[in-house]
Amino acid sequence: MPDRIILKLGGSVITDKERGDAGVIRESVLQEVARALKEYADIPLLLIHGAGSCGHPQARQYHIQSGVSRENREGIYATHQAVSALNELVVRTLRAEGIEAVSVHPLEGMVASGGELSGYCLTHLHLMIDLGIVPVLHGDVVMDTEKGACIVSGDQLVRVLAQKLGMKRIGLATDVPGLLDADGSVVRELRRTMAHTIRIEGSGSVDVTGGMQGKISELLRLADIGIESDIFHISRLQDFLSGADHGGTRILPEGA
Ligand SMILES: Nc1ncnc2c1ncn2[C@@H]1O[C@H](COP(=O)(O)OP(=O)(O)OP(=O)(O)O)[C@@H](O)[C@H]1O
Ligand SMILES: C=C(C)CCOP(=O)(O)O
């Protein structure tokens, strides 16, 4: 049986994130991704996608990251609805290519405490993957025991699910070729001790989960427990899936 893969499709890839509130979904990109994934249908896969312009603008508008009370509670519905609509299209596009994809919404089965996932059952994901089903999760608003509710990014889901489900290969496809240094060159390998030497910022667009900075911080936590991961440009998806060099960044444990 080939190694299980977690693939995160960045919101910057599948939506037009720069158009902010417009919520434009890049359907042609989704179709290309679905065609690429179909060629690797024998690989057990769990897919996660970001929100891009279908969730970040709503999360910002309702100040979800500052905590949710009765005053802004309608932001839970608005944010979840926006990213769920994106999720539905992702799943529909995959299924149209013959991929047995099923939506799994974090809001419905996960709880956070202080912004970090703290309560969840993952048995259903194991069972789906064993049946050759591709669960499709997404960054979402989830209820939070301390903050009322919070945003859990697709990158946080990558970290938690990679660890808890014992996934062997972890790939994050985004709109840049990898982590870039000050010269614009791709940092091919990143370890925690060198991370402070690189200027890592948020996203150029509306983003409540920290953009590249949030991504690297989650992936370094994964590296701390011995799990490697890869960031690459979406145009190199086939290379990642086939195990070839994708030209991006590998986040590695310290001694590796
Ligand atoms: N040093 C850096 N190298 C590369 N990108 C960087 C760097 N610093 C900041 N960025 C920004 O990070 C962005 C990628 O992070 P972002 O969170 O927007 O991607 P995503 O995961 O595709 O989107 P989403 O969070 O909506 O799923 C790039 O488009 C770039 O603007
Ligand atoms: C804003 C929402 C709903 C999810 C954010 O997830 P991300 O796009 O992976 O950072």
Q: How confident is the model at residue 2 (pLDDT cuts 50, 70, 90)?
A: confident
Annotated binding site for ATP: 8-12, 52, 175, 211, 215
Cβ(117) to ligand 2 under 6 A? no
Domain ranges of the chain: 5-251
b/e map 177-194, b = 16+ CB within 10 Å: bbbbeeeeebbeebeeee
Parallel/antiparallel/unpaired status of strands 189-190 and 249-251: parallel
Tokens of 177: 């070729």
Query: What is the arithmetic mean of pLDDT over 148-173?
Result: 96
Residues written for the chain: 256
Complex ipTM value: 0.97
Query: What is the arithmetic mean of pLDDT over 166-187?
Result: 95
Question: For residue range 78-120, what is the model confidence (pLDDT) as tens digits?
Answer: 999 999 999 999 999 999 999 999 999 999 999 999 999 999 9
Note the pTM of the prediction, 2 decimals.
0.96
- Confidence (pLDDT) at 17: 77
**What does the DSSP assignment read for 16-50?**
-GGGGGG--B-HHHHHHHHHHHHTTTTS-EEEEE-
Select from 112, 76, 236, 250 the least CA-distant residue to 170: 250
Q: Residue 90: what are its φ and ψ, rounded to 5°?
A: -60, -50
Which of 26, 188, 196, 201 maximizes ligand 1 atoms within 8 Å of its Cβ, making it the mutation to test the pocket?
201
Question: For residue range 24-55, what is the model confidence (pLDDT) as tens digits?
Answer: 999 999 999 999 999 999 999 999 999 999 99
Q: How confident is the model at residue 20 (pLDDT cuts 50, 70, 90)?
A: low
Tokens of 119: 């309560």
Select from 128, 135, 130, 109 the least CA-distant residue to 47: 135
Question: For residue range 145-154, what is the model confidence (pLDDT) as tens digits?
Answer: 999 999 999 9
Q: Class for domain 5-251, per CATH?
A: alpha beta
**What does the DSSP assignment read for 76-122?**
HHHHHHHHHHHHHHHHHHHHHTT--EEE--HHHHEEEETTEEEEE--
- Confidence (pLDDT) at 12: 94
Annotated binding site for substrate: 51, 56, 154
How far is Cα 44 from Cα 39, in angstroms, rounded to an integer? 13
Q: Residue 85: what are its φ and ψ, rounded to 5°?
A: -65, -40
Cβ(208) to ligand 1 under 6 A? no
Cβ(17) to ligand 2 under 6 A? no
- For the CA atoms of 58, 64, 65, 71, the dihedral, rounded to the nearest 10 degrees, stands at 150
CB 191 within 8 A of CB 252: yes
